[in-house]
Amino acid sequence: MAFIKLSEDFKKTSYILLNSSFITDYMPSLTEQAIKVYLLGLYYSTLDSDINTIANFTKTLNLSADEIKEAYTELEKENLVKISNLDELQVIYLTLDNKTTKFKPIDEGKYGDLYVLCQGQLTHELTTSEFKSYVDLIENYHLEPEALLMIIKYCSQTKEKGANANYILAVCKNFIGEKIYTAKKVEEKIIEIERTSGKIQDIFKVLGIKRNATLDERDLYIKWTKVFFFSDKTIIEVAETLKKKGGMKALDNKLTKYHSMQFLSYDEITSYESVQTHLKTVAKTICTKLGIFLENLDPFIDNYLNDWLTKGYSDETLYSIATYCFKNGLNTLEKMNNFIENLYSNEVVGVESFAKFTKENKQTDEKILNIFKKLNLNTVVTNRDRELYNSFINNKISQELLEYAINLSNGKVEPWKYLIKILQNFNDNNIKTVEDANKASINITANSTKQNNDNLQMNTRSFSEDDLNDLFINLKETNLND
């Protein structure tokens, strides 16, 4: 154990020394992510091992482990750190004095004039590190020096506050990615980009953007027109739908989406968006009638609504079903979907067929409530009650035998359950008449009840979790006094 340690509070209030050379020579050419990783790494190097972990590191920066590795790989190329173990990501920070060994010396006789010319095109001071990055493009990617100068000049002119090293290098790499290495090809590319200036300003006006377009934004326009084959009119019309929100990124997302759907004309786009707007309206209305709220309606539309509409259910039918589900405790999308699957299997699809279904259900409820009244039960009808009624009573037993069973059940602690047990016994023993029941000397006791009911004035019921969920029902339809 160490003889002396710093408290965590002391560490949090202390300072991290940063070599000024990192700011002047390295930072201009590093990505923003690499800079954040480097600085936080300096701080983490002062922490104890239980805190100094990759898990805490990724959580602090909200980056993945792969993104952290990518950043440290970039830093290692700059000779700022050494990765001693890539799998477990163990990193050693190096002194910045070692930077002189990271590159071959620049040939001043070969590139001295180029340095002066580059500096003349820049609004900021050209550092050795930045210039070496430009030389690398020339030596490793065969970018002509004249082409490099044209790119630097164009970037500096189109950026209102001047182009930084990262921006210029990114543009150079984009050009190289398009196999543009010569001054002639760069000039042709710039002319193509410049032709778009007026068109882009029209788009900017619709989007509410008041500045010059960047090269990346000009490339977006070229992509939309040359790759996606959208007309200027279509691009403007889509931009208008954004209502000056989201800028070029939002517009690119929309146009990319429409391209993936193979839309070309604005009529195709408006037709699609009209359907999407209608689906969201229907989905929102259903959620309201179910008594639920969904911030994002897309999963509901994709997983449920589209299927219901494909089955032939109209908007009005779905609204009626949602209302019914809410009243009957089926107020989740999953339960409503299961209910619709059951309706569909019974060919209940249209408004009229569903109205007939609910009418029959209401009649069933009234019959069940009549039995409850005879059993001195003051309660509501649940889906389970309906299932039991349809299984053992509905068209299964004579009214006379039913009255006989009700009389046997009256006075029990759970008379409805007791009645069902009797009816189940009748069914198992093929008892069809009161005479058959008397001959069989039916004597059934409910396992979960007690027989001492003399002092009970009103019978009660116990409910399972499913029964309790089913209690959300229209009491006006099931009131015992109706």
In this prediction, residue 260 carries a pLDDT of: 94
- In this structure, are 392 and 457 located in the same domain? yes
In this prediction, residue 447 carries a pLDDT of: 39
Residue 169's domain comprises 108-195
Q: How confident is the model at residue 453 (pLDDT cuts 50, 70, 90)?
A: very low
The mean pLDDT value for 234-250 works out to 94
- In this structure, are 373 and 466 located in the same domain? yes
Q: Does 356 map to a domain? A: no
- In this structure, are 260 and 285 located in the same domain? no
Taking the model in full, what pTM does it have? Answer: 0.47
Look at the chain and report how many structural domains it folds into: 5
CA distance 148 to 152: 6
In this prediction, residue 480 carries a pLDDT of: 34
What are the structure tokens assigned to 362, written together?
A: 């209401």
Q: Does 354 map to a domain? A: no
Q: Does 355 map to a domain? A: no
| Burial class of residue 54 in the structure, from the number of CB atoms within 10 Å of its CB (0-12 exposed, 13-18 middle, 19+ buried) | middle
The mean pLDDT value of the chain amounts to 83
In this prediction, residue 460 carries a pLDDT of: 41
In this prediction, residue 273 carries a pLDDT of: 92
Q: Does 357 map to a domain? A: no
Could you read off the pLDDT of 458-480 as tens digits, one per residue? 344 444 545 434 443 433 333 33
Q: Find the CATH number of the domain harbouring 132.
A: 1.10.10
Asked whether the CA dihedral 450, 451, 456, 462 is positive or negative, the reply is positive
DSSP string, 234-269: HHHHHHHHTTT-SHHHHHHHHHHHHHHTT--SHHHH
Q: Does 435 map to a domain? A: yes
For residue 116, the one-letter residue type is: V
106: left (phi over 0), alpha (psi -120 to 50) or beta: beta
In this prediction, residue 11 carries a pLDDT of: 63
Cβ–Cβ < 8 Å for 214, 158: yes
Q: Give the least confident one: 97-101, 192-196, 265-269, 279-283.
A: 97-101
Q: Does 190 map to a domain? A: yes
Q: What are phi and psi of 120, to 5 degrees?
A: -65, -20
- In this structure, are 180 and 86 located in the same domain? no
- In this structure, are 88 and 149 located in the same domain? no
Q: Is the pLDDT of residue 63 over 80?
A: yes
Cβ–Cβ < 8 Å for 196, 222: yes
- In this structure, are 202 and 293 located in the same domain? no
What are the structure tokens assigned to 197, written together?
A: 């200036």
| Element housing 84 (H / E) | strand 81-85
- In this structure, are 91 and 135 located in the same domain? no
- In this structure, are 294 and 366 located in the same domain? no
Residue at which a domain ends, from 69, 101, 133: 101
In this prediction, residue 479 carries a pLDDT of: 38
Q: Does 434 map to a domain? A: yes
Q: Does 1 map to a domain? A: no
- In this structure, are 469 and 388 located in the same domain? yes
CA distance 110 to 275: 64
In this prediction, residue 283 carries a pLDDT of: 97
3-state class (DSSP) for residue 26: helix
Could you read off the pLDDT of 206-233 as tens digits, one per residue? 999 988 888 788 889 989 998 999 999 9
- In this structure, are 321 and 256 located in the same domain? no
Residue at which a domain ends, from 80, 101, 122: 101
In this prediction, residue 365 carries a pLDDT of: 84
Residue at which a domain ends, from 170, 195, 220: 195
- In this structure, are 366 and 472 located in the same domain? yes
3-state class (DSSP) for residue 476: helix
Could you read off the pLDDT of 102-151 as tens digits, one per residue? 445 567 778 888 988 999 899 888 888 889 999 999 998 999 999 999 99
The mean pLDDT value for 263-276 works out to 93
In this prediction, residue 4 carries a pLDDT of: 61
- In this structure, are 112 and 185 located in the same domain? yes
